[in-house]
Amino acid sequence: MLALLVGGIGLWQAWNIVSHLREEAEMSSTIYGSIISALSDDVSDPTGVLLDLAEMIRGTGIQLIVNDPQGRVSACSNLPLQPDPCSQGLLSDPRIMQYAAQLDQDNQPVVAANGSRIHYGLTEVARQLTWLTVFQLGVLGVAVIAGAWGYRTASHMHRDRLWVAMARESAHQLGTPLMSAAAWIDRLRDPEPNTALIARHLRADIDRLDRVASRFERIGRPARPERVAMGSLAARVVNYFEPRLPKHANKINIAIHAPAAGPMVSGDPVLLEWALESLIRNSIDALSGRGGNVSVTVQRQGNAVQLRVQDDGPGIGIEVRTNLFEPGITTKSGGWGIGLALANRIVEDVHGGELRFDPVEQGALFVATFPAAAE
C-alpha cells in the first residue's frame, strides 16, 4: 500500500512538474522576446514594455526582492506576507527585508552591475520537488519501521508456533507408548492372559518412553556419532509400529526390506531412529481412515546408504512440495508440521545427508541418503 501510495503521488507530481516546466519555458520565451523587442529602436512605448515584463515576472511565481545600491527596496513580488506590501506599494515595510534575509539563507543574492541586489526564492516546481523528497523520505522511514515491526512479529509468531509444535510432538511421542501400555494392562484382566507376550510388549513401551526422553535431551546438543547398522535400526522401528497398527477396519500393513544388519553409517542412533519414526508416522497418518501399505527399504548405493519410506496414500499436493521440510508446513488437518522438519534437521544438518521427496504415481516416497561409514 505504501509503494502504491508513493508511486501514485510520484506520478501525479511528475505530471505537475512537467506542466510547470512547459509553462515556465513558454514564459521564459515570452520574456526573452519582450526584452529583445524593448531593446530595438522601433518600440513606441518602452515603459509599457518594461511594465509588461515586470508583470510577466510576477506571473512566474518567483519570490523576488530588489534593492537599489543604497539598500532600499525598489521592487518585490510574490512574497507570502499578509497584507501584501508589494501590491500596495509599501516598499518600506520592514518585513520585506526580514524576508529577504530568509531568502538569502537558501540562495545567494545576485549583485547587478550598478550595485543593486536581487534576492530570490524557489520556483513552484522546486518547492514541489522539495516537499516530494521530504514526503518520500517520510514514507520510506515508515516502511522501514513497518517492515522491522512485521519481521519482529513474524519471528515471534514463528518461534511461538515452534514451541507449540514441539510440545505437540512431545505429547505425540509419549502418547503412543502410554496408550499401548494401557491396552496391554487391560489385556492382563483377561481370564487367561498371555503374560509373557504382554510383558514383552510392556517392556518395549517402557524402552520406547526411555528413548523418547533421551531424544528431547539431545535437542541443542552435539550428536554422539557411532557406527550404526541401518538395517537393524529400521527393523527395530518397524517391529515397534507393526503390532500397534490397525488390524481390522482401515488396516495398515508395514513391511521392511533390508539386510539382516544393514549397511553401516556414522551417526547418532537415537536421532536416526527419531528421523525414521517421523517418516514412518507421516506415512501412517496419511493412511489413517483409509488403510494401505507402508514400505521401508534400506540399501547400499556406492558410498552412500539409502533409507526409503513409501506409502500408497493420497500423496502430497504440488503447492507444498517446495517448502515441505519447513516447520509449520503440513497437509494434515490439525497438524503442526514439525515431524518432517525434525527429520530433515537430523538427516541433513546433524548427519550431513540428504532428505528429499520423490513424486510417485500413488502415495508418497521419502528418500534419506547418508554417507556410508568407513569399513
How many Å apart are CA 354 and CA 348, to the nearest integer?
A: 5
pTM score > 0.85 for this model? no
Assess if residue 61 is contained within a domain: yes
Assess if residue 199 is contained within a domain: no
Count of structural domains, the chain: 2
Domain hosting 100: range is 2-128
The pLDDT value given to residue 321: 77
Q: Which residues are within 8 A (CB) of 281 and not within 5 positions of it... i.e. 6 or more apart?
A: 172, 339
Per-residue pLDDT of 60-93, as tens digits, reads: 677 888 888 888 888 888 888 888 888 888 888 8
Per-residue pLDDT of 302-346, as tens digits, reads: 899 999 999 998 888 887 777 788 766 566 655 556 788 888 888
**Chosen domain end from 71, 103, 128:** 128
Assess if residue 332 is contained within a domain: yes
CA 18 → CA 8, 12, 15, 121, 123, distances in Å?
16, 10, 5, 20, 13
Assess if residue 136 is contained within a domain: no
235 and 355 belong to one structural domain: yes
End-to-end CA distance of the chain: 61
Assess if residue 192 is contained within a domain: no
**Chosen domain end from 101, 128, 155:** 128
The pLDDT value given to residue 365: 94
- Record the cell numbers describing residue 363, joined without a space: 502415495
Instruction: Reply yes or no on whether the pLDDT at 47 is more than 60.
Output: no
Per-residue pLDDT of 107-155, as tens digits, reads: 888 887 778 888 887 666 666 667 777 777 777 788 888 888 888 887 7
CA 131 → CA 8, 60, 356, distances in Å?
15, 19, 54
230 and 106 belong to one structural domain: no
The pLDDT value given to residue 69: 84
Assess if residue 163 is contained within a domain: no
Strands (E), 84-185: 110-111, 117-120
The pLDDT value given to residue 246: 83
What amino acid is encoded at 71 in this protein? G
CA 329 to chain centre: 16
CA 77 → CA 34, 61, 96, distances in Å?
19, 8, 10
Report helix, strand and coil shares of the chain as percent, to nearest 5: 55, 15, 30
Per-residue pLDDT of 256-287, as tens digits, reads: 999 888 799 999 888 898 899 889 988 988 89
**Chosen domain end from 108, 128, 148:** 128
227 and 359 belong to one structural domain: yes
122 and 261 belong to one structural domain: no
Assess if residue 161 is contained within a domain: no
Strands (E), 251-360: 252-257, 264-267, 292-301, 304-311, 354-358
Strand order of the β-sheet with 110-111 is 73-77, 64-67, 117-120, 110-111
The pLDDT value given to residue 308: 95
Strand partners, 117: 67, 111
How many Å apart are CA 297 and CA 366, to the nearest integer?
A: 11
Assess if residue 273 is contained within a domain: yes
Q: What is the signed CA dihedral for 158, 161, 162, 164, rounded to 10 degrees?
A: 160
